[in-house]
Each structure stands twice: as C-alpha cells, then as structure tokens.
C-alpha cells in the first residue's frame, strides 16, 4: 500500500481513505475505514470514465451483480454510489495477492492448492449461476488468494442468463482473450458453461504457470481457443482429466461448477482450506501484508485521527455550496506528532545535515526494534497422514507493538529522501555520482529497493503494454540490479535482466537485456533503463526503439 498523494481523495462516502492499494486501467483501489472501524477496499473509477454513460451502465451492473452474489468465496459489496460524480464501490478488504501475481512471483501452485482453488471457485460459480447470473470474466487477475481461501472478484460484465441486451457495441467482445469460452468468442448464447471453461483455463494456469492457450496477439489467442486443444503441460491424473473436461469445446460436455467442486473436494472447499491450502512462501507473503496493515493501525492509534481542511465527499464547500457526492477532496492534513516521552532515544543527526535515522543497521544510532511491528512467520507445508485432508500449513504470526516510533512513522515517509545516502539531495560540487556513507557497501539507495508494479505504455502513451513488475535489490555498479517482468494484456510474459550502470542524485541508470528462456516474441536487444522517484512511486523509462520506448509509473508492491 502506498500513501495518498496530494491529488488523491481522502474521504469517499462514509469512508476515510488510508492509502492506495493499487491501480489499473479503469480506476484505483484504496484502503479505507468506516466510522465504525471496519476496513474496506474502495474502488474509484478514473474521473474521465464517469463521463461515459456506457461505462456507468457497466459499473452499475457490476455493483448490482456483486450485491446479489455476496456469498462464500466472493468479496461482498458493502456500499456503493454508481451515480456519484466519480462512481465508487466499497467491498470487504481481502489481504492476499491475485493469482496472476502469485504465479508470476512464485511459479505454479502445488496440486493441493490447485484443488482447493478449484473447489472454492466452483462453489462460488455455482452460487452465481443459481442467481441467474454469468460472471463472464473469470481469469487469474480476478482471483485473490487469502489465508481463508480463494475469492472471486469483479462482476463488472456479469449479466442475467435470460437477458438479451448487451452492454457493448455491436461486434465488441466482452471478456479476456485466452480465458474466454469458444461460444463467447463466436457470439453464441452464453450460459454458465462459459464460466466453467474459464475456470478450466484458470486452473491450468495455476497448475502449470502458463495459460493453456498461449498466443502473441488477440487474434491468435481467439483462434486457438476456438480451434485448438489446450496445452496442459505437467498436469496429470484426475486433475488433468477434470481441467480437460472444463475446456471441452462443446458447452454441453462440460461439468457443472458444483460438480467441479465436488470432484475436487468431496467434503467441501472449506475442508481443504481449513487444512491449510497455500504453500509456505505465500502464507508468509499474505501474513506480511497483514502486518503492514496493522502497522498502519498502530500509527493511527498513536497519532490520533488525521485532520481535514474540509469534507471531501457529501459535505459543503467553504462558501456553503453542497459538494457533489464522490468528488475528490483535498489531501490529508496530518496532526502534529505527540511529544515523545523523556526516556525515548532519538538518533543524533549525522554530519550536521539534520537527517533522522530510522531503524536498520548503520547510520550512527537508531530506534529500538520494539518501535515497529515485528513479524515472525513459521510456515510449513506437510502432507497429513490421516483423514485425507491434503496438506496442512501452520502459520504463526507474532506481532509486537511498542509506541516509541509509532507516532512518527507516517511522517518518516516524507523525510526519507533527506536521509544521507538516499539521493534526496545533490552532492557537493554538482557531481551526478550518488553520495554514500563511508560504511555503505552498496551504491543503490534504499529508496529504490523493493518490488514495484504498475501499468506500462509505449509509443508516446498510445499503446497499452500491460503490467510491469520490477524487482530492485542492492547492487554496486556493474552488478545485477534486478529484473523486470512484463505481463502483457493476454497473460504472456517477458523478463529483462537489469545491470547497474550509474547512480545520480536524481535517478538510477541501468542496462537491460532480455533474459534467457524468454519467448521468441520478446525483444532480446540491450537497452538503457532509467528509474526516477516520483513522490512515493518510481518512473520507469526505456530507450528501446524496437519496443516503442516503454514507460510506466510503478507503485511499491512489497
């Protein structure tokens, strides 16, 4: 989660926004909290979409469909205002990555995880179909992996099975190439069997790490779905037979979603989930996400509520005129941090610069480790020898909170670039070489280190490229800086390996080249990449002419 920027809302409806969870082509998702203390995910569409009546119709349908579903294995809608100047919807907050992100980072899921995934989604689709709805966009990015089980989200193009009106213009397909059913592509009648086909593609992706119908263009993907057999890779046994049945070209030959769930989990999906369904690394990742959320709560409890200069939504302007519902409001005005108790140790500034060291090693003093939440995760994945419950996971999350640093944690993000060695100030003499502490063994400031993600474009912003996921680690000049994974809009991936060339006061410069094992369509040519901080994000720029000089604004994911 990233802090709110100056041009982002701070309140939407009855919810106070705490930070940005992510963004996409249609809008942004924020972490919010109700007046009663419930944590929610608030989805706000990009303002320019609010002027599109067709989009508003789709958004209303998403809200209506999701409200009707609201069962197990789906994220329930709690509140919404589709008629606001900037439409929004609030759902229960789910701590967990999408299936797309989980597979991209950690590879295919183990068989017992795939079985629990399929059983949960099968039960969710059965509930959807009982209401006379068809989801129509079941795909990896619409599946969240939580400790409590999988969640199916985004009912934006769901429609009643007995309806005939389309939300799209004539000749425009609704769905995602590579995950759509043949009948969707051919414009034939769409029933619940279309969701079962999409479920088969999702399970194949989860089990093999690759979509069952790979292709380099939308046309190729659509052709393969209609005319070719799926590639199921290492899938074998009962799971392979079930996935193949879901991917039958004839809708009548596919099993019902309830049958899929029963074949994967005869005692119910909850039985598999309760026995532990995620592999250890994913358990740790989800747990760390929960800790970050609790860190935020600890900051709030110590610092008190943030003040606002005026209501952001549903309130009145200074002149007394009512504000339109859903309008973006001003940035938060943070209160003055409380005075620290006398015993608290405050690090001394280094070199007279006034910078404040926050934890960590080095830096001439620090804050005791008890000043932040600490995480200890023990995640094991072992086969249960009794009861046929598949694998069991034990996850122990130890959380310790002390108040010494909590009161100033929020403020630390604003002074981070002033810390010595972070590149926040130009070095003396105007040199473009990064200034480092004499004891620092690496050249990359901590500001850049981590995993970053965002939507990419090329050809001066006219060509959407899909998602860039950049991992940056500490490195010296000439060493490997990290990797960039490009996931295109059809689910295909290309990886670049980045090598550090130079660190200046304002940016990091790296050489990039296609990784070994990339697909033939990936660009292997060397190119130069520049990473520049923009607020709390990173701006990625490549000089690759063959790729259209890609650009992306990346938010920190981990």
Beta bridge partners of residue 509, listed in sequence order: 502, 530
Spatial CB neighbours of 504, under 8 Å, sequence gap ≥ 6 = 423, 432, 433, 434
Structure tokens at 5: 């920027």
Let me know: does 288 contact 399? Beta carbons within 8 Å: no
Q: Is 502 annotated as a binding residue?
A: no
SS3 134: strand
Chain-centre distance of CA 98, in angstroms? 6
Question: Considering only CA atoms, which of 323, 221, 273, 347 is closest in space to residue 72?
Answer: 273
Let me know: does 123 contact 196? Beta carbons within 8 Å: no
Enumerate helices (H) and strands (E) in the chain, giving the number of each: 11, 20
Whether 137 sits among the annotated catalytic residues: the reply is: yes
DSSP state of 275: T
Chain-centre distance of CA 40, in angstroms? 15
Let me know: does 263 contact 118? Beta carbons within 8 Å: no
Q: Which residues of 359-395 are buried (b: 16+ CB within 10 A; e: fewer)?
A: eeeebeebbeeebbbebebebebeeeeeeebbbbbeb
Q: For residue 444, how many other CB atoms are within 10 A of its CB?
A: 26
Q: Regarding beta strands 480-487 and 527-534, do their DSSP bridges make them parallel or antiparallel, or are they unpaired?
A: unpaired
Q: Is 307 exposed, middle or buried (0-12, 13-18, 19+ CB in 10 A)?
A: exposed
DSSP state of 340: P
Phi-psi bin for 149: left (phi > 0), alpha (psi -120 to 50), beta? left
Let me know: does 386 contact 404? Beta carbons within 8 Å: no
Tokens 């008190």 map to which residue?
Answer: 304
CA distance 239 to 241: 5
Tokens 């670039």 map to which residue?
Answer: 417
Query: Which candidate in 79, 81, 137, 496 is catalytic?
Result: 137
Let me know: does 537 contact 555? Beta carbons within 8 Å: yes
Let me know: does 118 contact 199? Beta carbons within 8 Å: yes
Q: Cite the annotated binding site by residue number.
A: 43
Q: Cite the annotated binding site for ATP by residue number.
A: 43
- List the catalytic residues: 137
């Amino acid at each position: 989660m990233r802090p709110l920027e100056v041009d982002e809302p701070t309140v939407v409806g009855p919810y106070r926004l705490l930070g940005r969870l992510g963004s996409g082509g249609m809008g942004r998702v924020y972490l919010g909290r109700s007046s009663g203390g419930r944590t929610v995910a608030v989805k706000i569409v990009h303002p320019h979409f609010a002027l599109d009546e067709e989009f508003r119709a789709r958004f209303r349908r998403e809200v209506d469909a999701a409200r009707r579903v609201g069962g197990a294995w789906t994220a329930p809608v709690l509140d919404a205002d589709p008629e606001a100047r900037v439409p929004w919807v609030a759902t229960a907050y789910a701590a967990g990555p999408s299936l797309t992100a989980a597979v991209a980072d950690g590879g295919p899921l183990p068989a017992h995880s795939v079985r629990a995934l399929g059983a949960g989604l099968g039960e969710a689709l059965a509930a959807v179909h009982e209401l006379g709805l068809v989801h129509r966009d079941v795909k990896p990015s619409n599946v969240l992996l939580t400790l409590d089980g999988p969640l199916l989200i985004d009912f934006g193009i769901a429609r009643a099975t007995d309806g005939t009106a389309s939300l799209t213009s004539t000749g425009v397909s609704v769905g995602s190439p590579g995950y759509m059913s043949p009948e969707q592509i051919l414009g034939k009648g769409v029933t619940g069997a279309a969701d079962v086909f999409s479920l088969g593609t999702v399970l194949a992706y989860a089990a093999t790490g690759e979509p069952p119908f790979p292709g380099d263009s939308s046309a190729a993907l659509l052709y393969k779905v209609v005319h070719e057999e799926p590639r199921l890779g290492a899938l074998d046994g009962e799971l392979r037979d079930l996935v193949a049945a879901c991917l039958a070209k004839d809708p009548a030959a596919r099993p019902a979603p309830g049958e899929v769930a029963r074949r994967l989990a005869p005692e119910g999906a909850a039985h598999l989930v309760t026995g532990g369904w995620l592999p250890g690394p994913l358990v740790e990742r989800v747990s760390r996400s929960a800790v970050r959320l609790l860190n935020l709560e600890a900051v709030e409890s110590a610092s008190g509520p943030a003040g606002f200069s005026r209501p952001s939504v549903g309130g009145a302007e200074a002149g007394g005129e009512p504000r339109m519902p859903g309008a973006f409001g001003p940035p938060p005005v943070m209160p003055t941090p409380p005075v620290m108790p006398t015993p608290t140790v405050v690090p001394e500034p280094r070199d007279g610069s006034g910078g404040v060291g926050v934890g960590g090693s080095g830096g001439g003093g620090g804050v005791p480790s008890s000043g932040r939440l600490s995480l200890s995760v023990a995640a094991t994945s072992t086969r249960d020898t009794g009861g046929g419950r598949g694998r069991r996971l034990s996850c122990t999350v130890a959380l310790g909170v002390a108040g010494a640093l909590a009161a100033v944690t929020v403020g630390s993000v604003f002074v981070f670039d002033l810390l010595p060695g972070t590149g926040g100030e130009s070095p003396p003499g105007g040199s473009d070489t990064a200034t480092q502490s004499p004891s620092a063994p690496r050249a990359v400031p901590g500001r850049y280190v981590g995993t970053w993600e965002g939507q990419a474009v090329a050809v001066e912003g006219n060509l959407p490229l899909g998602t860039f996921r950049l991992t940056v680690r500490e490195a010296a000049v000439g060493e490997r800086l990290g990797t960039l994974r490009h996931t295109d809009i059809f689910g295909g991936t290309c990886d670049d390996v980045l090598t550090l060339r130079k660190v200046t006061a304002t940016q990091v410069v790296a050489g990039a080249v296609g990784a070994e094992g990339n697909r033939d369509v990936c660009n292997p040519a060397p190119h130069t990449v520049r990473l520049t901080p923009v607020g709390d994000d990173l701006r990625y720029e490549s000089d690759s002419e063959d790729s259209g000089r890609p650009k992306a604004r990346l938010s920190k994911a981990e």
